[in-house]
Structure 1
């Protein structure tokens, strides 16, 4: 990478549910106290994503005091097609500042012609200004979120004076086959864990390759290309063809 391709944004929402997989066995859902790496990466994908790039979440800043609220939910049990009764515990009045950047997806050499760093960076910043390309969710579908540009570190956080808050071992995210970073993760679906600590309201995430990981199953990469009708090249300049980008049209 040549340029500074960091992006910064604020995401807010009335509720959030960053669910701990351990607490979902009995049908109940209980949120983590802070966003997971994977949830923030999902928000970044809703803002702007292409298979050419991999988003890396660097830091999150917790702006509002951590509060929870439990609700009685009647989800449908697909096995019997009948309603059930469960209690979900949500975070409420959520506001986070996020800092992220992207790297090239070296697992997709066939998309090397799309590695225009300035183009992807400018589109990502433009999409943040517009609130994202797709709907934003804070963990789960029912928790609608809203994105806007910000400068990371501006304004006051409820935890500016909290020197350290340890959340212990947490779920970090999932490594899919097309984002493999080592021989152990190639052709596999892996789950990552890490030790989360917040200092003065800021959590600096470990990189995926620095986390503990556990292989779940074998997994093939999803193919992209003109022959699969999911990646189209067009001539937008009158010269050499490039990868389709609707923002360039």
Structure 2
């Protein structure tokens, strides 16, 4: 059971949808990934009873890149140690950023805007009082008022996103290119040994006249392309 289609405009000054084949440096995909778009919609409305599905991603602004070089720390304080220090069991360990600093490069996107066509389906966790119409009205009301469960972001938390209704216009129809292998989403579940697995699913993405058609979840096999191991 699927909801009606929703059309959402997502935009922001910066974005970085990191490609998994680059482990040391952050290099973005040319376009927002379906999983990133799903996360933004979940920031507006997430319930255990529904699951979002991205159908199309439209490019509303030209693809532009920006290179950022930043000093970052290689490690962070564990939550357990922080809680222990907070209750007075142990002293807060010393941390010197200058001794744990590393320089990393980021290839990000700038001045991005996307039009998303999406819908949601009911899950097995839906209760007896849950129904599609209820969540349709809830999402539409929250989208119109700008209400969010948490701040949506464009790949990285330091790149906030604004979310609003979209009328379907402004697509850059002159943009057509092959985008290569793109992350569709992750499979969350357990294998035969009851061990948790997070298995990525990739698909060959192609931007045609400014629009990326996202295949259905069932059409994407849980395989990892060879390029992701480089």
Normalising by structure 1, report the TM-score: 0.74
- Equivalent pair of 1:47/1:124 in contact (CA under 8 Å): yes
**Residue 175 (structure 1) aligned to one of 187, 198, 210:** 187
> C-alpha distance in 2, partners of 1:46/1:193?
23
1:6 aligns to 2:5 (yes or no)? yes
Which stretches in structure 1 are left out of the alignment for 5+ residues?
216-249
What corresponds to 1:21 in structure 2?
A: 20
Conserved 8 A contact 1:132-1:147 = no
Tell me the distance in 2 between the aligned counterparts of 1:132 and 1:198: 31
Q: Deviation digits for residues 83-112 of structure 1, max 9, x if unmatched? A: 110111110000111111000113x3xx33
Task: Say which of 209, 213, 238 aligns to 2:222.
Answer: 213
Structure with the bigger RCO (C-alpha within 8 Å, sep 6+) is: 2
Deviations, residues 151-180 of structure 1 (Å, cap 9, x unaligned):
22x1x33x3134x311111121112129x9
Structure 2 match to 1:42? 39
- SS of 2:113 mapped into structure 1: strand
Question: C-alpha separation between the residues in 2 aligned to 1:114 and 1:139?
Answer: 34
CA contact (8 A) 1:176 1:188 kept: yes
Aligned-residue offset at 1:115 = 2.6
Aligned equivalent of 1:129, options 130, 133, 144: 144
Cα drift, residue 209 of structure 1: 1.7
SS in 2 for 1:39: helix
1:11·1:97 contact (CA, 8 Å) conserved in 2? yes
In the superposition, relative to structure 1, how do residues 115 and 127 fare at CA in structure 2: closer, same or farther (>3 Å)? same
- The root-mean-square deviation of aligned C-alpha atoms, in Å, is 2.3
Following TM superposition, where does structure 1 have runs of at least 4 consecutive aligned residues deviating by more than 4 angstroms? none
Cα separation, 1, equivalents of 2:129 and 2:56: 27
1:64 corresponds to which of 61, 64, 75: 61
Q: Secondary structure at the match of 1:167?
A: strand
Deviation at 1:211, TM superposition (A): 1.1
Shift of 1:212: 2.5
2:42 match: secondary structure: helix
| Counterpart position of 1:87 | 105
1:214 shift after superposition: 4.0
Give the Cα separation in 2 of the matches to 1:187 and 1:99.
31
8 Å Cα contact 1:128/1:149 also seen in 2? yes
Deviation at 1:114, TM superposition (A): 4.0
Q: Secondary structure at the match of 1:212?
A: coil
Distance 1:55 1:196, change over 3 A: same
What secondary structure, in the 3-state scheme, does the structure 1 residue paired with 2:108 have? strand
Q: Deviations over 1:185-207 (max 9, x none)?
A: x9642210001011110111011
Equivalent of residue 173 in structure 2, options 143, 154, 160: 160
Paired position in structure 2 for 1:194: 203
- Is the alpha carbon distance of 1:54 and 1:11 closer, same or farther for their aligned partners in structure 2, counting shifts above 3 Å? same
Helix, strand or coil at the partner of 2:110: strand
SS in 1 for 2:180: strand
The residue number in structure 2 matching 1:221 is none
Total equivalences in the alignment: 200
CA distance in 1, matches of 2:103, 2:38: 31
Partner of 1:112: 127
